[in-house]
Structure 1
């Protein structure tokens, strides 16, 4: 059966068009709003009361006019592969050690062969105890991880305590399962600290959810794994963990053209908090520092005879 693709010419195709709201009383019955108590039951909410509402579920995404969205995506990959095969690249990594979880990321954003930015923040600060990394489609990662942040806040209002890291990761995994096959592009590491200490999860757009000690995600992940597998130890100190994370990212950016910019490093403690250790370390400068540490001068080629001289 032929499908009419003319609807994709609309510039608003695929955008979230509307959001619904829910009163605080529905989300957290134990909370009493003074402004609500002053209004008679038969009267509608005033504008000031609407500002006290919390946004809840009710996204209205504009999708293709077909009942089977998954089958549509499969046909789209055949008929228009460039619309779904995103040219993306990044390097993100995280690993557990005795003092918590160390997260290190690069900062390059690419559009195919074009480098669009070297200052992208690929660690999403979900709340005061949760962090998420960004690999794949930037829009998908940012939107859904911020949505999980809202859901965590709603859970806290309802129950009076924060959700665990495992529960928060299941929220995101449940969303990915609901939209599986819809064309999302996301590979994120979810880490945080709760009453059981720091923990680390990997979640992607296929609703895969893995609990692990060490992950490297993105086009440069293979190169980062080479450094991590060689030098990783669980009993590392914080300084050793930071140096390992920085070296792994720097090595990946040197070999992967889609990774680069600066290195950012976060530390998730075992006591319910996270800290930003390094905000901007230039990877090009790191390469020369690592070469110097090996006893090389400059870029390591001064003592090599060139065939072009």
Structure 2
């Protein structure tokens, strides 16, 4: 046995015991499955083509039910005071609420944030990879990674895994040498700069509020109120959104966590029980312009004249049948 060990013969497969061969095989499979620990871009792909298309067919053939439904509401907008990011905290899987404390705004570095929308596993994993790359960039080049560079990196990643079933829609927001930036990146490889974005199943409701109240010269408090209001109305209409409303403000001095408010508290703030405003000829709603008021008075006078004419006509018809 000593001579075999010296010559290396004991390492040949036919000289090893069965349990040693099985252990070596298991270690090899484990190394292949966890290769992303060494290289985060080397993910183990499913053993068939077009996973996004073929996986539902395989599940249907095996009579297995797997819910991929997900929902969220995240928003971001730029204004004169920087960038605002706001998101809910509910994580769902179909009809099941998995968590009410999900952090959907990720702190990439002291000057840049990212949001999560889509598959929680995909978003969390790639945001962690991006945070790692931001830190390595700072150590190598002694300066922060720009928001555009981070967006290009995520766009390259999503393009590489396009068609693999990746589900992700994220916003990257931050301040760099060129000023405030807000960029949207999704799993189809799309990268878009903009001033107002909302991503998730509740985004139509949030965009309705943003389109009504957004303007560039908002004050900080008005911007905070607008973001909370938009997310609250989305959570009240979308069953997949809810929990806490987290609000962040990004300036050239870095990001700040402004508030983490429960949706129930926002309901008391925005939709408290108030008596309906009176409606009548003498009532002028707040913000009514002078032209609208004059038009309303003219219309009322016209109705009064028509009513008097009808009364006179009816009286004459009764006197002379």
TM-score by length of 2: 0.71
> Residues 208-259 of structure 1, C-alpha deviation per residue, up to 9 Å, x if partnerless?
1110000011010000001000000111011100000000000000000110
What is the CA distance between 1:159 and its match in structure 2? 2.2
Cα distance change on mapping 1:294 and 1:101 into 2, 3 Å: farther
2:16 is matched with which residue?
none
The alignment status of 1:277 with 2:258, answered yes or no, reads yes
Cα distance change on mapping 1:59 and 1:202 into 2, 3 Å: closer
The secondary structure found in structure 1 opposite 2:271 is: helix
Provide the rounded CA distance (Å) in 1 between the counterparts of 2:96 and 2:132.
Answer: 34
1:268 is matched with which residue?
250
8 A contact 2:110–2:254 mirrored in 1: yes
- Residue of 22, 25, 35 corresponding to 1:18: 35
8 A contact 2:51–2:165 mirrored in 1: no
What is the CA distance between 1:199 and its match in structure 2? 0.7
The alignment status of 1:174 with 2:152, answered yes or no, reads no
Provide the rounded CA distance (Å) in 2 between the counterparts of 1:266 and 1:198.
Answer: 14
1:287 is matched with which residue?
267
C-alpha RMSD of matched pairs (Å): 2.4
8 A contact 2:115–2:172 mirrored in 1: yes
What is the CA distance between 1:79 and its match in structure 2? 3.9
The alignment status of 1:214 with 2:196, answered yes or no, reads yes
Unaligned runs of 5+ in 2: 1-28, 277-321
Provide the rounded CA distance (Å) in 2 between the counterparts of 1:65 and 1:277.
Answer: 46
Provide the rounded CA distance (Å) in 2 between the counterparts of 1:196 and 1:96.
Answer: 14
The alignment status of 1:98 with 2:115, answered yes or no, reads no
Count of residue pairs the alignment pairs up: 245
Larger relative helix fraction: 2
The secondary structure found in structure 2 opposite 1:80 is: helix
Provide the rounded CA distance (Å) in 2 between the counterparts of 1:292 and 1:61.
Answer: 50
The alignment status of 1:73 with 2:73, answered yes or no, reads no
Counting only pairs closer than 5 Å after superposition, residues 221-232 of structure 1 correspond to structure 2 as 221-232=203-214
> Residues 91-114 of structure 1, C-alpha deviation per residue, up to 9 Å, x if partnerless?
100000001100110111112111
Counting only pairs closer than 5 Å after superposition, residues 132-281 of structure 1 correspond to structure 2 as 132-269=114-251, 271-279=252-260, 281=261
8 A contact 2:76–2:84 mirrored in 1: yes
TM-score by length of 1: 0.73
Provide the rounded CA distance (Å) in 1 between the counterparts of 2:237 and 2:156.
Answer: 35
What is the CA distance between 1:291 and its match in structure 2? 2.2
The secondary structure found in structure 1 opposite 2:230 is: helix
What is the CA distance between 1:292 and its match in structure 2? 2.8
Cα distance change on mapping 1:256 and 1:19 into 2, 3 Å: closer
Runs of 4+ in 1 over 6 A off after TM superposition: 81-85
Cα distance change on mapping 1:170 and 1:84 into 2, 3 Å: farther
Cα distance change on mapping 1:72 and 1:219 into 2, 3 Å: closer
Task: Answer with 1 or 2: which has the greater Rg.
Answer: 2
